[in-house]
Amino acid sequence: MEQITRIGMDTSKNVFQLHGVDAADAEALCEAVSRPTMRFVPVKTAEQQATLMLVGVRERLIQKGTQLVNAIRGYGAEFGITAATDACRVVPLLDRIAADEAIPELARELFALQAKEYAQLQREIERIDAKLMEWHRNDECSQRLAKIPGVGPIGATLLMMKTPDPHLF
């Protein structure tokens, strides 16, 4: 058993965690406690936390969509039908597969199931993007950031939501 040199408590809205640090551990929380000049993360309102959740759900749906597109492309390749890697090419790929009678009926049914799942994912992402755009339209700083070449409204919104107040540094 190793000797604990420091214990830190991480409090949240409804839960807390204890972190024990031994000579080999460097949990960020406990490290921060050992620095007297360290500034801590500001408390977020429930509304701010909900908005950050929107960003997290969007990221997860996009990852799921990427995974699904890759699976569809992989299964299609097993039947000799390929498409470029761009996600916008998956719908034409699925259309080609659905029309190809050389592919067994079971496989076409499974591709159709994945097509429905992909369409549902795209609708959910569009709904979330609409909510992000609404947030963007109501935030002056996000609108200014979107004017930077290469940033755009979604990028600006994500920056505003995930970046803490610079005055804290």
The string of pLDDT tens digits covering residues 36-76 is 666 655 667 788 788 888 888 999 999 999 999 999 999 99
In the chain, the percentage of residues whose pLDDT exceeds 70 is 72
pLDDT above 80: residue 30? no
User: Hey, what's the torsion of the CAs at 158, 162, 166, 169, to 10 degrees?
Assistant: -150
Whose tokens are 């996600």? That residue is 87
CA distances from 120 to 108, 110, 138 (A): 18, 15, 28
Handedness of CA 167, 130, 148, 61 (dihedral sign): positive
